[in-house]
Amino acid sequence: MVTVMKHAQKGGAVTIGFAGSGRSESDRLGPVAGILSFRWVLAAFVLILWFVYYPIIDNFVVSTKSQDIFTGETAFIGLDNYRRLQGDPVVRTAIVNNVLYAVISVVFQVFGAFVLASLIEGLAEERSRRFWRAVYFVPSAISITVTGLLFYFIYQPNIGLLDSALTQVGLADWSRAWLGEEGTAIYAIIAMSQWQGFGYSTLLFAIAIQKIPRELYDAAIMDGAGTWRRLWNITFPLTREMTGLMVIVTITGAFQVFNEVMVMTGGGPNNSSQVLGTWLYQQGFIENDFGYGAAIASVIFAITLVTGFAQLWYTKRRRVEL
Amino acid sequence: MSIAYQSSETERTDFAAVLAKVCLVAFLTSLGIVVLYPLLWMALNGFKTNAEMFGNPFALPSGFSIANYISAWNQGIRNYIATSVIVTLGSAICTVLVSAWTAYGLTRSKLPGKPFFVGIVLGGLMLSPTVAVIPLVRMMQDLGLYNTYWALIILYTAFRIPFTTFLIRAYMLGLPRDLDEAAIMDGASEGQIFWKVTLPLCKPILVSCVILHVLFAWNEYLFAMIFTSGADLQTLPVGLTSIMAKHGTNYAVVFAAMTLSALPIVMTFFAAQRFFIRGLAEGIGK
């Protein structure tokens, strides 16, 4: 009861802060109405705590155990799985691949998309602006499984588009089994991901650019500022918030990559295109080593927790500024 | 003299502007071809025979027989689409209703300790499915939900509640309170206000949330792959990989299957483009 009352006081104060609606009614009606109000959050709470929070805590417990999946016997082995992580060369490859994913995606899907969005928004007719935004967005609506399989075929040497296109423009020497060679597999997957994702971020930047007041551009044109100057001095600073958020979201996404790698190479050849997500799957579900898989999951958790807090902090700061 | 100078200057800038415009349109068009041609190629390959597949990949199919499409439809796509529709719609309804209900509680009810609950719900935004997947396998087996529709409906709902609640809450915070107060004067209870006043006012954001959820659930792969194993329970993304594994040598049917899986969501996008775009804009924050 004491805690409820304490929350009630805090809740009252915050209601004023958030919505500006005078005194919270729980202060007047007493704790009964307050307790009844829990029905509002009960369903969400049960679902989130049970299926989102608890498994993530349980994941740490699982990661300290070795388990025989057939007999179900578990043995506590402390931090052994984490020591194994340090010496696992595939974990190192996977982290490098996730970082590559993040860096290349930030270049194309944040900065590339920003430039593209400002080019599109610079077009005179609203009709053509809408047309290009929609065209580039189409791949983002399609599932990664479909686009992954599609590019699996595009990269095939015998029936694929890429090698025959290269041959036709006289670059036959460049053609190869893109997904079959250790040096190119991860880059081929990342390239597919850029093809699929850039339209989505272009659309988001376009929306941010639309919010910039036209008068700023008119004034800049009067002062004789050219296209690039306007881009650099008006569009870029005024969409900085969106850019920051997109960088964080893109990096978070790059460390959760799973689907496209799974569909296109399954991590091969010779584990050269493994990412943390697929290595987790390989260890946990193919090798049935749940403990080690859970330890890999903890690495993903640690990285996405940092980016998650960065996003929270960034969003909060942004809200205050506006 | 000065007039002549002026006009030649204008001509030059006009010429530069036209050249810039031509370059820009050329660039946008080539990028558009890079984006759309692979998708067109996918649909066209669904019409080819397997022999044509190994010819020039840029060639058009010799005829537009829909045999491959029918074959793909009967080899599983029909069942996968049915499963995907059930799971997507079931989880969309659960997610949006629970989230709207929760968002109301977090913004307008007499719930004490709101910041604490807001923190718990929004904290869920940071937790990714990948990290939870190993413990969830045993949990779903213990609950007897493994390999059922419910496993996916529950998990999609639970993992999307934080994000969806976040969007609806932000929208509710911006709604005027006059109507609520008028309803309270008339003696309406909180529940009545939620269903009769707040929910109708939230319709735009609810539509956006449904669209974002459909986009997520229709395309989700990790949970769908791990929590279903029978062919009659696989969603489209997982079913497509099994078609690939089973009929991997009959490329044309695989291409037809891929086209059929992509089609519903692409058509939805073009039909509801306005809502899509608004939904995405809300999704990234205002």
What is the mean pLDDT of the segment spanning B161-186?
A: 88
Interface residue B262 vs chain A (CB under 8 A): yes
Looking at residue B180, what is its pLDDT?
A: 84
Same domain, B25 and B158: no
Residue to test with chain B: of A10, A67, A145, most B Cβ within 10 A: A145
Domain membership of residue B64 (yes or no) is: no
What is the mean pLDDT of the segment spanning B30-38?
A: 96
* pLDDT surpasses 90 at B98: yes
Domain membership of residue B50 (yes or no) is: no
Same domain, B138 and B229: yes
Cis? peptide before B176, omega within 30° of 0 = no
Residue to test with chain B: of A2, A18, A29, A40, most B Cβ within 10 A: A40
Same domain, B41 and B147: no
The backbone torsions φ and ψ at residue A74, rounded to the nearest 5 degrees and listed phi first, read -115, 150
For residue B101, give the nearest of B146, B155, B164, B143 by alpha carbon: B164
Looking at residue B10, what is its pLDDT?
A: 58
* pLDDT surpasses 60 at B6: no
* pLDDT surpasses 60 at B1: no
pLDDT in tens, A77-86: 888 889 999 9
Same domain, B134 and B32: no
The backbone torsions φ and ψ at residue A75, rounded to the nearest 5 degrees and listed phi first, read -135, 135
CB crowding A130-166: b at 16 or more within 10 Å, else e: bebbbbbbbbbbbbbbbbbbbbbbbbbeebbbbbbee
Domain membership of residue B24 (yes or no) is: yes
Q: Residue B254 maps to which CATH number?
A: 1.10.3720.10
Tell me the angle at which helices B2-45 and A144-154 cross, rounded to the nearest 10 degrees.
Answer: 90
Same domain, B117 and B239: yes
- At B75, the pLDDT band (50, 70, 90 cuts) reads confident
Q: What chain A residue is nearest to B111 in terms of C-alpha separation?
A: A37
Same domain, B82 and B173: yes
Same domain, B81 and B120: yes
Residues written for chain A = 322
User: What Cα–Cα distance (Å) separates residue A198 from each residue in A246, B157, B185, B213?
Assistant: 12, 27, 51, 20
pLDDT in tens, A297-320: 999 999 998 988 887 787 776 654
Domain membership of residue B65 (yes or no) is: no
Cβ-proximal residues to A271 (8 Å cutoff; 6+ apart), any chain: A90, A93, A279
For residue B276, give the nearest of B261, B286, B266 by alpha carbon: B266
Residue to test with chain B: of A5, A42, A49, A51, most B Cβ within 10 A: A51
Q: What chain A residue is nearest to B218 in terms of C-alpha separation?
A: A143
Looking at residue A31, what is its pLDDT?
A: 59
* pLDDT surpasses 80 at A32: no
- At B250, the pLDDT band (50, 70, 90 cuts) reads confident
Same domain, B30 and B110: no
Interface residue B110 vs chain A (CB under 8 A): yes
* pLDDT surpasses 80 at A1: no
* pLDDT surpasses 80 at A276: yes
What is the mean pLDDT of the segment spanning B187-191?
A: 85
Cβ-proximal residues to A135 (8 Å cutoff; 6+ apart), any chain: A199, B32, B35, B36
User: What Cα–Cα distance (Å) separates residue B149 from each residue in B77, B143, B155, B228?
Assistant: 17, 13, 10, 8
Report how far residue B246's alpha carbon sits from residue B51's, in angstroms, rounded to the nearest whole number: 19
Percent of chain B residues past pLDDT 70, beyond the cut: 93
* pLDDT surpasses 70 at A33: no
Tell me which residues of chain B, numbers 13 to 42, contact chain A at a CB-CB cutoff of 8 Å: 20, 24, 27-28, 31-32, 34-36, 38-39, 41-42
Cβ-proximal residues to B100 (8 Å cutoff; 6+ apart), any chain: B168, B199, B202, B206
Looking at residue A319, what is its pLDDT?
A: 54
Same domain, B97 and B14: no
Residue to test with chain B: of A28, A143, A163, A179, most B Cβ within 10 A: A143
Same domain, B276 and B165: yes
* Chain B environment of A284 (Cβ under 8 Å): 133-134
Which structural domain range is residue B181 located in?
A: 76-284
Same domain, B187 and B124: yes
pLDDT in tens, A174-219: 888 899 999 999 999 999 999 999 999 999 899 889 888 888 888 8
Domain membership of residue B183 (yes or no) is: yes
- Contact: A7, B158; criterion CB under 8 Å: no
* pLDDT surpasses 70 at A27: no
- Contact: A47, B237; criterion CB under 8 Å: no
What is the mean pLDDT of the segment spanning B218-235?
A: 88
* Contact by Cβ (8 Å): B179, B114: no
Looking at residue A294, what is its pLDDT?
A: 94
Looking at residue A232, what is its pLDDT?
A: 87
Please tell me the least confidently modeled range out of A5-9, A292-296, B47-51.
A5-9
User: Can you read off the two tokens belonging to residue A222?
Assistant: 């009067």
- Four-point Cα dihedral A253, A255, A258, A259, nearest 10: 20
What is the mean pLDDT of the segment spanning A13-41?
A: 53
Number of domains in chain B: 2
Looking at residue A75, what is its pLDDT?
A: 81
B217-220, long-range: CB < 8 A, 24+ apart: B217/B87, B217/B88, B217/B91, B217/B92, B217/B156, B217/B160, B218/A143, B218/B84, B218/B88, B218/B264, B218/B265, B219/A142, B219/A143, B219/A144, B219/A145, B219/B265, B220/B152, B220/B156
- At B273, the pLDDT band (50, 70, 90 cuts) reads confident
Looking at residue B181, what is its pLDDT?
A: 85
pLDDT in tens, A151-176: 999 998 878 889 888 888 888 888 88
* Average model confidence (pLDDT) across chain B: 87
For residue B155, give the nearest of B91, B234, B218, B226 by alpha carbon: B91
Domain membership of residue B68 (yes or no) is: no
- Say which of B32, B136, B285 has its CB closest to residue A315: B285
Tell me which residues of chain B, numbers 124 to 153, contact chain A at a CB-CB cutoff of 8 Å: 124-128, 130-136, 139
Looking at residue B228, what is its pLDDT?
A: 87
- At A45, the pLDDT band (50, 70, 90 cuts) reads very high
Domain membership of residue B92 (yes or no) is: yes
* pLDDT surpasses 70 at B284: no
User: Can you read off the two tokens belonging to residue A96?
Assistant: 């490098």
pTM score of the predicted model: 0.86
- Contact: B132, A29; criterion CB under 8 Å: no
Strands (E), B16-102: none
Same domain, B180 and B99: yes
Domain membership of residue B51 (yes or no) is: no
Looking at residue A273, what is its pLDDT?
A: 95
DSSP letter string over B258-277? HHHHHHHHHHHHHHTHHHHH
**A48-52, A238-242, B73-77, B273-277, range with greatest mean pLDDT:** A48-52
Interface residue B164 vs chain A (CB under 8 A): no
Burial of A203 (0-12, 13-18, 19+ CB in 10 A): buried
**Three-class DSSP category at B112:** coil
Distance from CA of B102 to the nearest CA of A (A): 5
Looking at residue A149, what is its pLDDT?
A: 94
